[in-house]
């Protein structure tokens, strides 16, 4: 954490998003009609945490299969001490002092707050403290109470009413009362807004396109439709899934899901190949039909992004397409663009060390001239 000459706080955040050895990361950026930058990302770590690797996640799971390990990554609930514990924002002093990022010498000085139970909250007869990284980066969020209240305001606008034990989002309301992660139905949870009653193809619907309100469930599990039903109580049914670490460091709306289908690849590649946003315009008022054209629409945020030469798309690892086809018959035609990568692999020179090369190894170690 550093401060510039004008006193602005700068936080450098590094995430260990390792992909080597079986993982991948793909993201795509689009610019919506209100010129807002919209960010789509799918990530799979190369090495899954033991709780995930030992579960049914990598092999697929049947409906109603409990998936409690998801709670440490994704929450569909209004923040509470239980949610903060699940996602690791608060923990016991023993857990933090035993972590690799805390040395024995630093523990007595920089982490002295862990010695004072006044800085903790008592949950199930255990004292829980704020994560050391959060204490260092956010001076005003050094107690679980302050951190929880801050995140409740970010996620839901207001806390659950203690007198009625209800949240404003599950009741009819004239206008939303804040919160970045609340899907609002003003006339009641079962009366969706007009924008919710149109599907992605523009066809009308009678129910909410985003499937709100969500189901109440005591445990995160696989739903009947194959999607994940996140753990939710009666007041959480209008909460959009999110991660509290991302919410804390990047306070903006997010829609976070755990997926186990290949369809998300097509979803992301759609944004790469669909082209720039266009708008209809008239070049001459005399002949509207003849001069009706589509022009590229570039808003200020997109222009700023491109002028800085920031990437709109990223993929790791790079993928080489393997085209499988029948044997070549006869001579080449005008539509024949040369040998395919598969033909080049089969036609590779058989020299010492190349006879057992896989398709991937061959193109990693050899340069093939078209």
Is residue 43 predicted with pLDDT exceeding 60? Answer: yes
Is residue 270 predicted with pLDDT exceeding 70? Answer: no
Residue 113 has phi, psi (to 5 degrees) of -60, -20
**CA 142, CA 135: separation in Å to the nearest integer?**
5
Is residue 106 predicted with pLDDT exceeding 60? Answer: no
Return the minimum-mean-pLDDT range out of 172-186, 242-256, 296-310, 332-346: 332-346
Report pLDDT for 29: 83
Q: For residue 259, how far is the Cα from the chain centroid?
A: 11
**CA 369, CA 355: separation in Å to the nearest integer?**
20
pLDDT digits (tens, 9 = 90+) for 273-320: 666 555 544 455 555 555 555 566 677 888 888 888 888 888 887 776
Report pLDDT for 220: 93
Could you tell me if 179 and 167 are in contact, meaning their C-beta atoms sit under 8 angstroms apart?
no
**CA 339, CA 345: separation in Å to the nearest integer?**
10
**CA 26, CA 43: separation in Å to the nearest integer?**
7
Is residue 62 predicted with pLDDT exceeding 60? Answer: yes
Q: Is 44 helix (H, G, I), strand (E, B) or coil?
A: strand
Return the minimum-mean-pLDDT range out of 43-47, 202-206, 278-282, 362-366: 278-282
More confident: 199 or 245: 245
Mean pLDDT of the chain: 79
Report pLDDT for 109: 39
Q: What percent of the chain has pLDDT over 90?
A: 33
Half-sphere exposure of 279 (CA within 13 A, CB side): 8
Instruction: Provide the pLDDT confidence category of residue 49 given band limits of 50, 70 and 90.
Output: low
Return the minimum-mean-pLDDT range out of 142-151, 153-162, 205-214, 313-322: 313-322
Instruction: Provide the pLDDT confidence category of residue 104 given band limits of 50, 70 and 90.
Output: very low
Return the exposure string of 163-198: e unless at least 16 CB atoms fall within 10 Å of the residue's CB, then b.
Answer: eeeebbbbeeeeeeeebbbbbbbeeebeebeeebee
In 3D space, the residue among 315, 318, 325 whose CA is nearest the CA of residue 364 turns out to be 318
Is residue 143 predicted with pLDDT exceeding 60? Answer: yes
Q: Assign residue 172 a region (left: φ > 0; alpha: ψ between -120 and 50; beta: otherwise).
A: beta
Q: The pTM is what?
A: 0.75
Is residue 108 predicted with pLDDT exceeding 50? Answer: no
**For the chain, what percentages of helix, strand and coil (3-state, to nearest 5) are there?**
25, 15, 55
**CA 134, CA 333: separation in Å to the nearest integer?**
64
Strand ranges for the chain from DSSP E: 2-3, 9-10, 24-31, 37-44, 90-91, 121-123, 126-130, 221-222, 228-229, 278-282, 292-296, 313-316
pLDDT digits (tens, 9 = 90+) for 237-267: 999 999 999 999 989 899 998 876 666 666 6
List CB contacts of 77: < 8 A, sequence separation 6 or more: 83, 230, 231, 232, 233, 236, 239
DSSP state of 204: B
Return the exposure string of 24-40: e unless at least 16 CB atoms fall within 10 Å of the residue's CB, then b.
Answer: ebbbbbbbeeeeebeeb
């Amino acid at each position: 954490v550093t401060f510039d000459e004008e006193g602005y706080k700068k936080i450098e955040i590094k995430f260990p998003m390792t992909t080597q050895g079986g993982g991948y990361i793909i993201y795509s950026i689009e610019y919506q009609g209100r010129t807002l930058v919209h960010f789509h990302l799918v990530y799979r770590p190369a090495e899954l945490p033991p709780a995930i690797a030992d579960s049914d996640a990598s092999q697929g799971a049947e409906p109603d299969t409990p998936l409690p390990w998801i709670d440490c990554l994704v929450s569909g609930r209004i923040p509470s001490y239980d949610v903060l514990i699940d996602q690791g924002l608060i923990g016991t002093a023993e857990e933090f002092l035993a972590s690799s990022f805390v040395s024995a010498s630093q523990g007595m000085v920089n982490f002295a707050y862990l010695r004072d139970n006044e800085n903790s909250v008592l949950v199930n007869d255990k004292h829980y403290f704020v994560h050391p990284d959060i204490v260092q980066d956010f001076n005003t969020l050094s107690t679980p109470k302050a951190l929880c209240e801050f995140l409740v305001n970010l996620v839901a606008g207001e806390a659950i009413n203690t007198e009625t034990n209800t949240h404003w989002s599950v009741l009819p309301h004239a206008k939303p009362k804040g919160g970045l992660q609340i899907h609002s139905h003003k006339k009641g949870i079962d009366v969706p807004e007009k924008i919710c009653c149109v599907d992605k193809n523009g066809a009308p619907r009678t129910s909410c396109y985003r499937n709100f309100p969500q189901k109440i469930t005591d445990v995160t599990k696989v739903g009947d439709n194959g999607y994940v039903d996140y753990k939710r109580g009666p007041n959480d049914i209008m909460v959009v899934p999110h991660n509290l670490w991302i919410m804390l460091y990047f306070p903006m709306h997010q829609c976070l899901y755990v997926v186990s289908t290949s369809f998300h690849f097509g979803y992301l590649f759609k944004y790469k190949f669909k082209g720039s946003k266009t708008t209809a315009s008239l070049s001459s008022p005399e002949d509207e039909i003849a001069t009706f054209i589509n022009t590229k629409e570039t808003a200020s945020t997109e222009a700023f992004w491109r002028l800085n030469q920031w990437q709109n798309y990223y993929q790791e690892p790079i993928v080489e397409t393997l085209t499988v086809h029948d044997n070549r018959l006869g001579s080449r035609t005008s539509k024949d663009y040369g040998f395919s990568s598969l033909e080049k692999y089969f036609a590779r020179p058989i020299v010492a060390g190349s006879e057992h090369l896989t398709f991937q190894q061959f193109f990693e170690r050899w340069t093939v001239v078209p």
